[in-house]
Amino acid sequence: MRKWGFKMADFHGTTILAVRRKGKVAVAGDGQVTLNSTVIKHHAKKVRRIFNDKIIVGFAGATADALNFSERLEQKLERFNGNLTRSAVELAKDWRTDKYLRRLEAMMIAVDESKMFLLSGNGDVIEPDDDHIGIGSGGVVAQAAAAALLKHTDLDAKSIVKEAMAIAASICVYTNDTVTIEEM
């Protein structure tokens, strides 16, 4: 698929990581956006709070699609009184029946005080077995670093995402060290 003369696969540059520990959850996203081999933005904000600051989302993929995805999730949250599980499942149901939604090239991590989900561009709703999940170009690196930090340190959730994102930035060329962190 081409937009503005570029293939969507040419866009890289997102690492999103969520970690839950000791009753707190932190979600971090790097600020880098690249086009082919060129960094075109250093300070993108890919993590934000929605639904009266009760839900934190971090998104990867085409920006307009990710924002649309986030807005649709927020509409579901309003409809289902902030129930993240129900909202995510209902959004996935819509995904299966709406041709426009099936074309969104984005994925998202959504968390509240007790739940953590990966919402994929295929209409999947995945609750990780562990208390951490990563997506995007450096997501695997950040998730691996978080897993090690969870196992071998007593750091809190915010400190773990900060350290794990620094590790991802040192390895993944599509991840920078300008990080946005939201915590609840």
> pLDDT 10s digit of each residue in the chain, 184 long?
334 333 344 445 689 999 999 999 999 999 988 877 888 889 989 999 999 999 999 998 877 777 888 888 999 999 999 999 999 999 888 877 766 666 667 889 999 999 999 998 778 899 999 999 999 989 999 999 999 999 999 999 999 999 999 999 999 988 999 999 999 9
**Cβ atoms of 41 and 11 closer than 8 Å:** no
Number of domains in the chain: 1
Asked whether residue 66 is assigned to any structural domain, the reply reads: yes
CATH of the domain at 153: 3.60.20.10
Position 6 scores a pLDDT of: 36
Annotation says 14 is catalytic: yes
Position 13 scores a pLDDT of: 66
Asked whether residue 179 is assigned to any structural domain, the reply reads: no
Range of the domain at 169: 2-174
Asked whether residue 68 is assigned to any structural domain, the reply reads: yes
**Catalytic residue selected from 14, 34, 175, 180:** 14
**Cβ atoms of 127 and 116 closer than 8 Å:** yes
Asked whether residue 123 is assigned to any structural domain, the reply reads: yes
Angle at 139 between CA 123 and CA 28, to 5 degrees: 95
For the whole model, what pTM was predicted? 0.89
| CA distance linking residue 164 with residue 157, whole number of Å | 10
Distances (CA, A) of 66 to 50, 109, 166: 13, 11, 24
Asked whether residue 184 is assigned to any structural domain, the reply reads: no
User: In which order are the strands placed within the sheet that holds 106-111?
Assistant: 47-50, 55-61, 106-111, 116-119, 125-126
